[in-house]
Structure 1
Amino acid sequence: MRHGRAKAARKTLKFYALNGNIKAPYKIIFDGNFLAAIIKQKVPIFDRLNKLLQHAQFTAYTTRTALDELALIPGEMFEQARQFGLDECEIIEHRDVPNAQPGKESNPKMDIKNLTRGGNKEGWFICTQDEDLSDAIRQFPNVPQMRLTRGVLILEAPSSASRRKANEEESGKQSTGGGTMTNQEKELVERIKAQEEKKRKRQQEEEYHEIAQQRRKKKAKGPNPLSCKKKKESDTNSDGKKRNRRKKKSSAAADE
Structure 2
Amino acid sequence: MKITRQKHAKKHLSFFRNNFGVREPYQILLDGTFCQAALRGRIQLREQLPRYLMAETQLCTTRCVLKELETLGKDLYGAKLIAQKCQVRHCPHFKTPVSGSECLLSMIEGGNPHHYFMATQDQNLSVKVKKQPGVPLLFIIQNTIVLDKPSAKTIAFVKAVEAGQLVSGHEKQSIRQLKEEQGLVKTPDQKRRKKRKRISGPNPLSCLKKKKKTQDAKPSSASRKKRKRIRNRSASKTVPSEKVNAEG
Shorter-chain TM-score bucket reads 0.5 to 0.7
Secondary structure of residue in 2 paired with 1:28: strand
1:13: how far off?
0.3
Consecutive unaligned residues of structure 2, counting only runs of 5 or more, are 168-248
Secondary structure of residue in 2 paired with 1:129: coil
Distance (Å, rounded) in 2 between the aligned partners of 1:101 and 1:2: 39
1:119: how far off?
1.0
1:127: how far off?
0.3
Show CA shifts across 1:190-228 (max 9, x none). Answer: xxxxxxxxxxxxxxxxxxxxxxxxxxxxxxxxxxxxxxx
AA aligned opposite 2:68: E
Secondary structure of residue in 1 paired with 2:139: strand
Secondary structure of residue in 2 paired with 1:72: helix
Distance (Å, rounded) in 2 between the aligned partners of 1:113 and 1:74: 24
Where in structure 2 are the equivalents of 1:49-88 lying within 5 Å? Answer: 49-54=49-54, 56-75=55-74, 78-87=76-85
Determine which of 122, 127, 132 is the counterpart of 2:124.
Answer: 132
Asked if the contact 2:9/2:147 (under 8 Å) is kept, the reply is yes
Secondary structure of residue in 1 paired with 2:72: coil
1:115: how far off?
0.8
Determine which of 122, 133, 136 is the counterpart of 1:141.
Answer: 133
In the alignment, structure 1 residue 31 sits paired with structure 2 residue 31: yes
Distance (Å, rounded) in 2 between the aligned partners of 1:84 and 1:101: 22
In the alignment, structure 1 residue 164 sits paired with structure 2 residue 163: no
Distance (Å, rounded) in 1 between the aligned partners of 2:24 and 2:140: 22
Q: CA, structure 1 residues 121+74, in 2 after alignment: closer, same or farther (shift >3 Å)?
A: same
Map of 2:235 onto structure 1: none
Determine which of 68, 71, 90 is the counterpart of 2:87.
Answer: 90
- TM-score, normalising length from structure 2? 0.63
Asked if the contact 2:67/2:97 (under 8 Å) is kept, the reply is no
1:126: how far off?
0.5
1:104: how far off?
3.4
Secondary structure of residue in 2 paired with 1:117: coil
1:7: how far off?
0.7
Larger radius of gyration: 2
Show CA shifts across 1:79-135 (max 9, x none). Answer: 121112212x1012xxx32xx355434121111111112111110000000000000
Where in structure 2 are the equivalents of 1:1-256 lying within 5 Å? Answer: 2-54=2-54, 56-75=55-74, 78-87=76-85, 89-92=86-89, 96-97=90-91, 100=92, 103-172=95-164
Distance (Å, rounded) in 1 between the aligned partners of 2:153 and 2:33: 25
Distance (Å, rounded) in 1 between the aligned partners of 2:95 and 2:68: 17
1:173: how far off?
7.9
Q: CA, structure 1 residues 82+102, in 2 after alignment: closer, same or farther (shift >3 Å)?
A: closer
Superposed CA RMSD in Å reads 1.8
- TM-score, normalising length from structure 1? 0.61
Secondary structure of residue in 2 paired with 1:141: coil
Distance (Å, rounded) in 1 between the aligned partners of 2:165 and 2:138: 31
1:74: how far off?
2.8
Consecutive unaligned residues of structure 1, counting only runs of 5 or more, are 176-256
Distance (Å, rounded) in 1 between the aligned partners of 2:166 and 2:126: 32
Asked if the contact 2:69/2:79 (under 8 Å) is kept, the reply is yes
- Which of structure 1's runs of 4+ aligned residues deviate more than 2 A? 100-105
| Seq. identity, % | 26
What is the aligned length? 167
Distance (Å, rounded) in 1 between the aligned partners of 2:96 and 2:24: 34
Secondary structure of residue in 1 paired with 2:159: helix
Structure with greater proportional helix content: 2
1:27: how far off?
0.3
Asked if the contact 2:64/2:93 (under 8 Å) is kept, the reply is no
Distance (Å, rounded) in 2 between the aligned partners of 1:70 and 1:103: 17
